[in-house]
Chains A and B, each alone.
Chain A
Amino acid sequence: MSIFHASAEQLELVESFVRPLEELFPVARLHRAEHTDYDNWVTAAEFGWFGISLPEEAGGIGLSVVEEALLFAQFGRHLISPGFMAASLAAKTASLSGNDELAQKILGGEIPVAIARQTAAGITLVDAENAKLCLVISAEGTKLFPVEAIQQRALLDRTQWSIALESAALPGNPIAQASEEDIGASINLLIAAQLTGIAAATLEMAVAYAQIRQQFGVAIGSFQAIKHYCTDMVMNVQAAKDMLSFSAVAMAGNQPDHRFQVASALVVATRAAFFNTGKNIQIHGGMGFSAECDAHLFLKRAHVLETLAGGLKASRAALRAENSIFGKDAAFTG
C-alpha cells in the first residue's frame, strides 16, 4: 500500500541503512570541538547514502526520494553535518547540468561537498572547512562551485551554533547549477526530513527524562504540565513524520500537487523542530540549560537547517505560491 505513504518494504529497507548510524555518529561527538563528520565521508559514500534516489546508471542506488527522506530523518536525529545533504543535492545538480562524470565523483566520495545559503550580503557557508566543493542554495535553485573559487572567506564562529559558520562573497560562474523548479522540492524535502528527525529525537529524550527524573517523590512525567508538553511534542512528531512520508510519496510519484505537499512538510517540520527542541530544554530543567547536555545541540541545528531553507518566513511564502488540490478550481485526484 503506497499511494499515500511509505510502504512497509521501504521502511524496512531504510532500517537496514541506519544500523551503522549510532556507532558512527553518536550525538555526544558534537561535544568534542575537534570532531568532524567529514572523517566518515568516504564511508558514507560507500554506503550509498549520497545517491539514494539517483538511478544506478548515474552512480546512485536507484531507490526513490521516499527512502532518501526517511534516511535523512535519521541524519537529523544524529545531527549529521548538513554537508551530507550537500552531497546528495550536488550530485543531483551535476546530473541535472548534464555533468554525469562530476556526479559520479561526488557519489563516490572523492570530492567532499559543503553547503551554503545565499543571503543579501553574500553567502553563509556551513561546516565547509574540509570540503572541496560548495553547493550554494538560493531562492533560484542551486549552484556548485569549487571551494577555491570562493573569495573573502571569513570564519564567523564555530562554537555558538555548534558548527562552523563562514561568510564569503558569492563567486562567479558555477561548474554546475539547477533551477528551483528542478531541485527546490529536493532541498525542501531533505531539510524537512532532518528537522523531523530532530523533533523525534528531542521528543524521545524528553519522555525518557520525564520518566526517570523525580521531584516531590514522583517522576516529573506524572505532572500534567510536563505531560501536556510531551503530548504536544508527540503530536508535532506524528504530524511531521506523516507529512514527510506523504509528501515524499507524492514527489516520487510526481503527483501534480507534490510541491505543495513538500512545502507543507517543510513548514510543519520547522515548527515541530523549534517547539520540540525548546520544550526538551525546559523539561530537562537546569541540566537542560547546560552545555554538557545534548538538548541545546538539537535546538542549534534546527536553526542552522532553517537558515539553509531560507528561513521559516520564506518557507511560508513559498507555500503560499503553491496550489492545494482543495483550492478553488482544483480537481481532486485519487
Chain B
Amino acid sequence: MSESLDDFRARARSWLQENVPEHGSPMEGPESREYALAWQKRQFEGGWAGLTWPQAYGGKELSVLQQIAWFEEYARAKAPSTHNALFVGMNHAGPTLIACGTDEQKAFHLPKIMQGEVIWCQGFSEPNAGSDLASLRTKGLVEGDELVVNGQKIWSSYADIGDYQELLIRTDPASSRHHGLSWVICAMDTPGITVRPIKTMAGPAKYAEVFYDNVRIPLSNIVGGLNNGWKTAMATLSFERGTASLALQISLSQRVEELIAANDDAGVSDTLMDLRADAAALRAMSYQFAIKSETGPVGSEGSMIRLYFAELAKRVASASIDIFGIGAPQVLAEHGLGFDYFDSYSETIAGGTAEIQRNIIAERVLGLPRGSR
C-alpha cells in the first residue's frame, strides 16, 4: 500500500527536524567539501537521496507532488542550500549520465554521487568561450585508447574540491563550432591538472581556473560518443534547473516574508509587495512546470522560470540591503544578507547570462527569428 501524501510530508518533516545540521556550511575549501558530503550521506542513509532519479539506479522516482512536498519541507526546515558543492553532481552530472552514459559509467558513478562520496564540477567555460561556448579550444587528441588533453578552463565551480569534472573539449582538431566536441569524465587527480581557485566578489573562492597539461583520460570516459559532445552538453544544460530549485525558490518566499516582518516602513512596502506577489507567482509557475514535466516534455519553458528566479533573487537581495542598511548585523554576519546580496550578482551570469536566456526564450518559446550574434 502506498503512503498518502500527508503521511509522506509528515515523515519528511520529522526526519528533517532531527537531521538538518545545526550550523551552516563553511564557505570554501576542504571543510565545505566535508560538510556537503556528510549532509548528502546523511540524506542517503535516511532514504532521502536521489528522489527524482530512476529506481534502476538506486533513485526513489518520487511523484512530482511528493517532490514538491519534500522541497517545501526542506525549505521550511532551513536545510542546507541545494545550490552547494553537490549541485553539479546531483543536478548536472547525474542526470547527464542517466540520459547519455554507458551502463558502466552509470553503475560506477551514480551510487557515488547519491551516497555522498564524490564532488563533481563543470568545465565548460574558457577564457575566450563564455556565452559563445561553441568557440571553445581546449583540445583532446586521441592516442590509442586515451585522450591527451591540453588547454584551460575557467569559472569552474568547486573545481578545487572536486573529484570529477564534466569536461567539454575539442576532440576533432579539424572541426569548428559545435562539431567535433566531446563530453568527458575527468578525474581531478589525474597528473597534469593544475587548479587555481578564484575569489568571488562575495568573498569566498567558489570557482577556479583549471589548466590541463598532457592530461591522459581513457576513451571509455567519453559520455554520449566521441565528437558528439555538443549534444551531451545541451542535455547537461537542460538539467541545470530541475525540481531541486524548488527549495531555492521557496526559500526566496521565506526571505521576502522575513523582510516584511522586519519592516514597517511604508516607503518600501510597494517594493516588498511586488516581491511577495512575484515570489508567489514563481511558486505557481514552478509547480505548474513540475506537474507538466511529469506527463511529457516541456521544452524551453524552464528557461523562463530560471530567468524569473534569477532576477527575483537579485531584487530580493537588493531590497534587503535597502531595508537594513550596509552596517546592520544581519547584513555583515557570515552567511548574512550582505553575502547573499553580493552572491546574487552571479544569478544572471552563471549557467548562461540573462541576455542569453532572453535570446533562447525569444527564439525557442516565441519563435522569433534568429538574429546575428
**Interface residues of A, Cβ cutoff 8 Å to B:** 1, 3-5, 207, 210-211, 218-219, 221-224, 226-228, 230-232, 234-235, 238-240, 242-243, 245-247, 260-261, 263-268, 271, 313, 316-317, 319-320, 324, 326-328, 332, 334
A265–B253 Cα gap in the complex (Å)? 15
* Chain B residues with CB under 8 A of A324: 253, 256-257, 276, 280
Cβ of B213 < 8 Å from any Cβ of A? no
Q: What residue of chain B has the Cβ atom nearest to residue A270's Cβ?
A: B277
List 6 additional A-B contacts (Cβ < 8 Å) besides A243-B277, A261-B284, A268-B278. A223-B371, A224-B359, A227-B359, A228-B355, A231-B365, A328-B258
Choose among B254, B269, B283 the residue with the greatest number of A CB atoms under 10 Å from its CB.
B283
Contact B261 A327 (CB under 8 A): yes
Inter-subunit contact B368/A260 (CB<8 Å): no
Top 4 A-B pairs ranked by shortest CB distance? A246-B284, A227-B362, A316-B273, A267-B277
* Cα-based distance from A223 to B372 in the complex (angstroms): 8
Q: State the main secondary structure of chain A at its contact with B.
A: helix
If over half of B's interface residues share one DSSP class (helix, strand or loop), that class is named, otherwise mixed; here it is: helix
Closest chain A residue, CB of each to CB of B252:
A326
Chain B residues with Cβ below 8 Å from A260 are 280
Known contacts A326-B254, A334-B9; A207 and B368 CB within 8 A of each other = yes
Across the interface, do B257 and A316 meet the contact criterion of CB distance under 8 Å?
no
* In the bound complex, CA of A232 to CA of B369 (Å): 17
Closest residue on chain A to residue B251 by CB atoms: A326
Instruction: Tell me, rounded to whole Å, the shortest Cβ–Cβ distance linking A304 to chain B.
Output: 21
**Are the C-beta atoms of B276 and A243 separated by less than 8 Å?**
no
In chain B, residues 348-373, which have Cβ atoms closer than 8 Å to a Cβ of chain A?
355, 357-359, 361-363, 365-372
Q: Count of B residues near A, CB < 8 Å?
A: 53
Residue from A246, A261, A327 in contact with B288 in the complex, judged by beta carbons closer than 8 Å: A246
Query: Which residues on the A side are within 8 Å of B69 (C-beta)?
Result: 334
User: Do A264 and B371 form a contact, CB below 8 Å, given A5-B291, A231-B366, A238-B301?
Assistant: no
- Distance of A205 from chain B, by nearest CB (Å): 12
Q: List 10 A-B contacts (CB under 8 A).
A: A221-B369, A227-B358, A234-B365, A239-B281, A261-B284, A268-B278, A319-B277, A324-B253, A324-B276, A326-B257
Most buried by A among B68, B73, B304, B370: B304
Minimal Cβ-Cβ distance residue in A for B291:
A1
CB pair B281 A242 closer than 8 Å: yes
Complex contacts, A243 vs chain B, CB 8 Å: 277, 280-281, 284-285
**Contact across chains for B368 and A211 when beta carbons are under 8 A apart:** yes
Contact between chains at B371 and A224 (CB < 8 Å): yes
Min CB distance, A43 to chain B, in Å? 33
Q: How many angstroms from the CA of A224 to the CA of B369 in the assembled complex?
A: 10
**Complex-state Cα separation, A242 to B289, whole angstroms:** 9
Would you call A230 and B362 a contact (CB within 8 A)?
Answer: yes
Once A239-B308, A264-B277, A326-B250 are accepted as A-B contacts, the answer to whether A222 and B371 lie under 8 Å apart by CB is yes
Contact at A327–B278, with CB atoms within 8 Å?
no
Q: Which chain B residue has the least Cβ–Cβ distance from A228?
A: B358
Residue numbers in A under 8 Å from B72 (CB-CB): 332
Check if B118 is an interface residue, CB within 8 A of chain A: no
- Chain A residues whose C-beta falls within 8 Å of the C-beta of B272 in the assembled complex: 320
